[in-house]
């Protein structure tokens, strides 16, 4: 079966201009990602990983080059793309279910069907019993899973993950990297993840 190309990064360069001068954050990056692939880019801090994800997400415009998602050039944010950040950014005053629903709430899409979809994700990935708990009552790994479910709730086709496990201790990080890799495969998502940690990359 021929695989579909969902993301094309074509000759992307990014130069930041500041009062101190110019920083070349990315130089001529090209990469194709096919449906269902989980691609991990590994590099040291400051090598431009977050810049690349922001460009793919449509939050930053590259200095040159372009990104295509399903053949269409990225010109701004796009609902086919979900972004998960370094820290989980769960709201402490909202329950896990309320946190997982927040993206849908912002898009005015909370209804019986979407609530059932999110509850099912929480159930499938071991957070069903914790849906009425608050973030502080969960372990770091569980919080990260809840953050992933919040991103999956919007049903993006592509997920961007920026060092999603960096706030976790080493043992948890390895386990959660493995779990999140399994979830992404099961949900048939295409993902681009960046990390400075080679162990995270190998697990996924
Ligand atoms: N808004 C900005 N203005 C100026 N320079 C920037 C800006 N954002 C990033 N940079 C610079 O661009 C380079 C790449 O930064 P970026 O955050 O993309 O790297 P990173 O690999 O994601 O690093 P980290 O893992 O530490 O977040 C760095 O030298 C950084 O200082």
| pLDDT value, residue 163 | 83
- In terms of domains, do 150 and 197 share one? no
Nearest C-alpha to atom 4 of ligand 1 is from which residue?
16
190 in Cβ contact with 6 (< 8 Å): yes
- In terms of domains, do 20 and 70 share one? yes
Given the structure tokens 């996924």, which residue do they identify?
204
Q: Tokens standing for 42?
A: 């590994």
- In terms of domains, do 118 and 143 share one? yes
Q: Tokens standing for 123?
A: 């159930």
Q: Which residues approach ligand 1 with their CB closer than 6 A?
A: 16, 18, 23, 25, 43, 45-51, 196
Residue 63: is it exposed, middle or buried by C-beta count within 10 angstroms (0-12/13-18/19+)? middle
CA–centroid distance, residue 93 to ligand 1 (Å): 31
- In terms of domains, do 128 and 166 share one? no
**Short-list 140, 144, 149, CA closest to 97:** 149
Bridging pattern class, strands 81-84 and 5-18: unpaired
- In terms of domains, do 103 and 33 share one? no
CA distance 104 to 81: 14
- In terms of domains, do 27 and 61 share one? yes
Mutate which of 26, 51, 54 for ligand 1 pocket (most atoms within 8 A of beta carbon): 51
DSSP 3-state of 92: coil
CATH code of the domain containing 168: 3.40.50.300
86 in Cβ contact with 54 (< 8 Å): no
| pLDDT value, residue 127 | 94
CA–centroid distance, residue 146 to ligand 1 (Å): 27
118 contact partners, CB below 8 Å, separation of at least 6:
97, 100, 101, 104, 149, 153
- In terms of domains, do 117 and 44 share one? no
- In terms of domains, do 137 and 203 share one? no
Whole domain around residue 198: which residue ranges? 1-80+157-204
- In terms of domains, do 129 and 75 share one? no
| pLDDT value, residue 129 | 96
88 in Cβ contact with 33 (< 8 Å): no
Which run of H or of E encompasses 162? strand 158-162
* pLDDT, tens digit only, all 204 positions of the chain: 568 999 999 999 999 998 889 999 999 999 999 999 999 999 888 889 999 999 999 999 999 999 999 999 999 988 899 988 777 789 999 999 999 999 999 989 999 999 999 999 999 888 999 999 999 999 888 898 899 899 999 999 999 998 877 767 777 777 778 888 888 888 889 999 998 876 666 555
Number of folded domains that form the chain: 2
């Amino acid at each position: 079966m021929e695989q579909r190309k969902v993301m094309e990064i074509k000759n992307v360069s990014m130069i930041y201009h500041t009062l101190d001068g110019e920083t070349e954050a990315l130089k001529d990056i090209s990469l194709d990602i096919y449906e269902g692939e989980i691609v991990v880019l590994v590099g040291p801090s400051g090598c431009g990983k977050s810049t690349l994800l922001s460009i793919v997400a449509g939050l930053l415009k590259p200095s040159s080059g372009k990104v295509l998602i399903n053949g269409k050039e990225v010109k701004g944010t796009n609902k086919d793309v979900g972004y998960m950040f370094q820290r989980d950014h769960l709201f402490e005053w909202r329950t896990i279910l309320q946190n997982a629903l927040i993206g849908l709430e912002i898009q005015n899409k909370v209804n019986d069907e979407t609530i059932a979809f999110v509850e099912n994700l929480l159930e499938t990935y071991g957070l069903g019993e914790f849906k009425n708990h608050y973030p502080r009552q969960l372990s770091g790994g569980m919080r990260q899973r809840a953050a992933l479910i919040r991103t999956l709730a919007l049903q993006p086709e592509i997920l961007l993950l920026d060092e999603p496990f960096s706030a976790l201790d080493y043992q948890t990080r390895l386990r959660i990297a493995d779990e999140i890799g399994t979830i992404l495969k099961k949900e048939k998502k295409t993902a681009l993840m960046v990390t400075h940690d080679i162990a995270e990359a190998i697990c996924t």
